Structure 1
Amino acid sequence: MSSPHHHPGTAHRPTGQAMLRGALGRCPACGEGKLFRSFLKVADHCPACDEAMHHQRADDGPAYLTILLVSHLGAPLLLASFVAWRPSAMTMIWTFGLGAVALSLLLLPRIKGAMVGLQWARRMHGFDTATPARET
């Protein structure tokens, strides 16, 4: 029985492995080349295996997931620290504000990389075809 995403004549692409490679900032296809050419800009092609990445469509998904995770982690901690220590409003604004920014900057490229890996593994948004010859 074949999955709806598996096309005859194409190699199986393990989703978990591709997402992990992407989250680590590596090409989901080979795991060697860098996925990003800058902080959040996905490289057009993998420098190691030449897999085309220019057609990925992560768009706003990683930002939404980052906000969801940071807020769901931060809100209980904010409440617990207020109940336990009763810090001043400015202390809470500074500590939780800086913490939210730092955690967002840490999570955002990892979530985006995992999303690109998911798209590659599931053959979404142009990842469904064999890699065409690179234009020079």
Structure 2
Amino acid sequence: MNGTMKHRRLRGTNAVAKLAALCGGLALAGAAFAHVFPQKQEPGAGATVASPAQVRVIFDGPLEAAFSSLTVTDASGKQVNTQKAAVDEHQPALIAVPLPPLAAGHYTVHWVAVASDGHRTHGDYAFNVK
């Protein structure tokens, strides 16, 4: 193999290595700018429970407290929480809202989660009070 062929082969290998590093970096950047989604809800989705004192939702990443929210509505769509939800300052992936005593019935939790990178997700789930 002459010097020119060897140089071309090394240059080609170097280009492949650079491309692999770039793809890996983009994958990590995508993970860093991911949306947040619920990992655990209390009460859980579909659960039938005694009147809970609060609703807690734990997400898979930290939340922006100023832009994230949690509300609870009854079967008629009326909001039942009278206090605003708050993100826990010691556990920024946790948002909770206190509840007054709830009558037996069907309730829906509506959540809006804004990640630290500004990406917004939202959803809802239901539980029942016996």
Class of the TM-score when normalised by the shorter of the 2 chains:
under 0.3
TM-score, length-scaled by structure 1: 0.22
Relative contact order, higher structure (CA 8 A, sep 6+): 1
Larger radius of gyration: 2
| Structure number having the greater helix percentage | 1
| Structure number having the greater strand percentage | 2
